Amino acid sequence: MIIAITGTPGVGKTTVSKLLAQRLGYEYVNLRDYAIEKGIGELKGELEVEVDELAYNFERDFKGKDVIVDGHLGHFLKADVVVVLRAHPRLIGERLKDRGYPREKIGENVEAELVDVILVEALEENERVLEVDTTGKTPEEVVNEILELIETGVKKRVGIVDWSEVYDEVIPYLRL
């Protein structure tokens, strides 16, 4: 089974994906590293990839295998399950600030989380989308929740967060 873990930068994809891969005994694939290794896209500081080319190559290399694929473009791949991780946009802001990201980049990502950009894209691209809120949870708790949703056969679980309720708390991060 191919499980894609997607979400806004800083939401916790890599942390959760590695743990989930360990728990399931699946191969872990970092999508950015994969693209670079395969020479897909261009590295101009940030990696710019053609999602169709990425999806085509990924399917050729991983179809029928058991993998956890980690990356914010994961929902453009042909996956059996797409997990969209969510976190309070303030957490995204704090984490990216700690990483030393420029203000513009922090704002862009906090805004993306606020208005569900990745969730909406994932729903356009995939049948089985599972949204998981990581806020206030440990990575282990998030992994347990993902496993439970998959094992109980939940087909779709979306609409579990509404960050418009916390808009006031994230104003300092926005590019207004």
Nearest residue (beta carbon) to ligand ATP: 12
Q: Which of residues 29-48 bind Mg ion (CB under 5 A)?
A: none
Position 160, amino acid: I
Task: Name which of 115 and 127 has its Cβ closer to ligand ATP.
Answer: 115
Residue 74 binds to ligand ATP (criterion: CB under 6 A): no
Helix residue ranges per DSSP H, the chain:
13-24, 31-38, 51-62, 89-98, 103-114, 117-125, 139-151, 167-170
Min dist. Cβ of residue 14 to Mg ion (A): 3
Per DSSP bridges, beta strands 46-48 and 42-44 are antiparallel
Min dist. Cβ of residue 123 to ligand ATP (A): 19
Position 7, amino acid: G
Task: Name which of 64 and 97 has its Cβ closer to ligand ATP.
Answer: 97
Task: Name which of 10 and 41 has its Cβ closer to ligand ATP.
Answer: 10
CB 28 within 8 A of CB 67: yes
Check residue 77 and report its DSSP letter: S
Binding residues vs ligand ATP (CB under 6 A): 7, 9-16, 72, 95, 134, 137-139, 142
